[in-house]
């Protein structure tokens, strides 16, 4: 094709951009186009300021257009556009790995870089299997996910996902998979943060072990707080119990922290907030403040060392991506970590969390509200579905929020909120008051 062909009939179509996770024909009737962003706000192409209640897509934790991050990306683009990480490197890669592992819980001391949460999850699942293979336990191939878990759109992540409709059109997926139940039930509705009971849900792992034979199971992967599946914080003691059962049976525990990482729960990672150390941890999104695609798998020594025991000249892990440790991503990541430190974003999130939780709970008396869950600066609000039209009320509420100048998401009839951590009291009040006002008039 030449550039002249761009003007040929049939080119310049408004459906040239095949959009992800979007009802495109509906979208084109009501487009939502953003042209700039700053701190807590987006600006639309028709000049409206929109309060960002989602940190973009759970990623812009330090606020939009953060000057230090933007400048670092600019500088690196002018200095070093690309270096492969296959048999070569650049100073930013080692610096980012060191800065990231310094943030992580003690014990997670190795970082494998990728370019997204999906790649991080698929990499972690492959590392888990290869770890057992390296130790002579190659029968351990089964992967255990959990109901409502979201682990991205790679084949591995989709296979362990606990959201059935995401898998519907793409089978067959990995066969060697089982799922834990969501550790949540109606008795926990309106829990103030973590449900007090429910640790027993972890015993479901013992049942899976019993019917599968522990020696065939490679890993369990969970989001410490189920994120896009609806924001479900773990019951007190649940993650500890999972950890203990994994230890008992030689199963690796993977925390998918693509949403919970980078300050969202008032600590760098949920592993620290809940005091439970996984064997592998995946992160992405907030690690570059969303400004350049990047993800990582963090690994414990016990895992890493198993790979380093083979022949000294062999490639230890036959896995990687063209853009692993991309210089621009490393520059953005280093600046993001510096900004988190400079502005004390973990402490800020921890300080705001009680106000966030209480203000969210203020929706309890609003029409249609069936449950409210919060964890750190995350909220999930279940609305009762309209009869025969599951998801319609959630869609209408999210759309009405946008028309009122605020971006939130919905998963069916569950409203989801995850604003940048630079928000203040007035932002918190506006987010929940807007939803309250909309619910008062929504049928």
* Least distance between ligand PLP and beta carbon 315 (Å): 25
Residue nearer to ligand PLP on the CB measure, 117 or 198: 117
CB closest to ligand PLP, residue no:
117
Cross-strand partners of 36: 43
Distance, CA of 92 to CA of 114 (rounded, Å): 14
Distance, CA of 181 to CA of 314 (rounded, Å): 40
Q: By CB under 6 A, is residue 398 in contact with ligand PLP?
A: no
Termini Cα distance of the chain: 51
Please check whether residue 182 is in contact with residue 226, taking contact to mean a CB–CB distance below 8 angstroms. Answer: yes
* Least distance between ligand PLP and beta carbon 260 (Å): 8
Closest-CA residue to 173 (of 148, 151, 194): 151
Over the window 295 to 334, marking each residue x when it contacts ligand PLP by CB under 6 A and - when it does not, the resulting string is: ----------------------------------------
Distance, CA of 133 to CA of 136 (rounded, Å): 5
Residue nearer to ligand PLP on the CB measure, 336 or 359: 336
Q: By CB under 6 A, is residue 150 in contact with ligand PLP?
A: yes
Distance, CA of 321 to CA of 114 (rounded, Å): 7
Task: Indicate which single residue of 228, 288, 374, 434 sits in contact with ligand PLP (rule: CB under 6 A).
Answer: 228
Q: By CB under 6 A, is residue 284 in contact with ligand PLP?
A: yes
Q: By CB under 6 A, is residue 116 in contact with ligand PLP?
A: yes
Q: Which residue has the tokens 């996770």?
A: 21
Task: Indicate which single residue of 227, 278, 380, 394 sits in contact with ligand PLP (rule: CB under 6 A).
Answer: 227
* Least distance between ligand PLP and beta carbon 88 (Å): 25
Please check whether residue 268 is in contact with residue 224, taking contact to mean a CB–CB distance below 8 angstroms. Answer: no
Please check whether residue 42 is in contact with residue 407, taking contact to mean a CB–CB distance below 8 angstroms. Answer: yes
Q: By CB under 6 A, is residue 259 in contact with ligand PLP?
A: yes
Task: Indicate which single residue of 144, 258, 294, 366 sits in contact with ligand PLP (rule: CB under 6 A).
Answer: 258
Q: Which residue has the tokens 């600006």?
A: 43
Pull the structure tokens for residue 222: 């969970």
Residue nearer to ligand PLP on the CB measure, 121 or 291: 121
Residue nearer to ligand PLP on the CB measure, 254 or 439: 254
Binding span for ligand PLP by CB under 6 A among 9-17, 71-79, 148-156, 328-336: 148-156
Distance, CA of 237 to CA of 216 (rounded, Å): 26
Please check whether residue 205 is in contact with residue 144, taking contact to mean a CB–CB distance below 8 angstroms. Answer: yes
Q: By CB under 6 A, is residue 292 in contact with ligand PLP?
A: no
Q: Which residues bind ligand PLP (CB under 6 A)?
A: 58, 116-118, 121, 150-152, 223, 227-228, 256, 258-259, 284
């Amino acid at each position: 094709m030449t550039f002249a062909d761009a003007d040929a009939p049939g080119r310049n179509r408004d459906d040239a951009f095949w959009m992800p996770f979007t009802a495109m024909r509906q979208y084109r009737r009501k487009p939502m186009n953003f042209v700039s962003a700053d701190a807590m706000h987006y600006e639309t192409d028709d000049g409206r300021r929109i309060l960002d209640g989602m940190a973009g897509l759970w990623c812009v934790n330090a606020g939009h257009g953060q000057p230090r991050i933007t400048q670092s990306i600019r500088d690196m683009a002018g200095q070093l556009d690309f270096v492969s990480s296959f048999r070569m490197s650049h100073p930013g890669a080692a610096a980012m790995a060191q800065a990231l592992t310094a943030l992580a819980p003690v014990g997670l001391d190795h970082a494998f870089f990728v370019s997204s949460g999906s790649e991080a999850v698929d990499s972690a699942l492959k590392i888990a299997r290869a770890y057992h293979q390296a130790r002579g336990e190659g029968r351990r191939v089964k992967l255990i996910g959990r109901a409502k878990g979201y682990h991205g759109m790679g084949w591995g992540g989709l296979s362990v996902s606990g959201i059935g409709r995401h898998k519907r059109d793409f089978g067959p997926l990995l066969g060697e998979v089982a799922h834990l139940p969501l550790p949540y039930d109606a008795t926990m509705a309106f829990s103030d943060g973590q449900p007090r009971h429910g640790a027993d849900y972890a015993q479901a792992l013992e049942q899976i072990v019993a019917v599968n034979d522990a020696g065939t199971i490679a890993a369990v992967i969970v989001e410490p707080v189920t994120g896009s599946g609806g924001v479900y914080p773990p019951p007190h003691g649940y993650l500890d119990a999972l950890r203990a059962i994994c230890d008992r049976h030689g199963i690796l525990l993977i925390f998918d922290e693509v949403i919970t990482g980078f300050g969202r729960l008032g600590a760098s990672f949920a592993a620290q907030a809940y005091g439970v150390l996984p064997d592998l941890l995946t992160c992405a999104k907030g690690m570059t403040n969303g400004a350049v695609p990047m993800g990582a798998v963090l690994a414990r020594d016990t895992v890493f060392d198993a790979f380093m025991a083979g022949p000294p000249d062999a490639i230890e892990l036959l896995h990687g991506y063209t853009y692993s440790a991309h210089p621009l991503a490393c520059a953005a990541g280093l600046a993001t970590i510096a900004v988190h430190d400079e502005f004390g974003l973990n402490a800020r999130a921890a300080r705001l969390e009680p106000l966030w939780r209480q203000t969210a709970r203020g929706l309890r008396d609003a029409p249609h509200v069936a449950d409210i869950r919060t964890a750190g600066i995350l909220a999930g609000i279940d609305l009762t579905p309209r009869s025969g039209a599951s998801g319609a009320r959630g869609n209408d509420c999210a759309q009405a929020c946008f028309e009122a100048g605020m971006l939130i998401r919905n998963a069916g009839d569950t409203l989801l909120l995850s604003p940048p951590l630079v928000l203040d009291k007035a932002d918190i009040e506006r987010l929940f008051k807007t939803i309250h006002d909309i619910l008062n008039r929504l049928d």
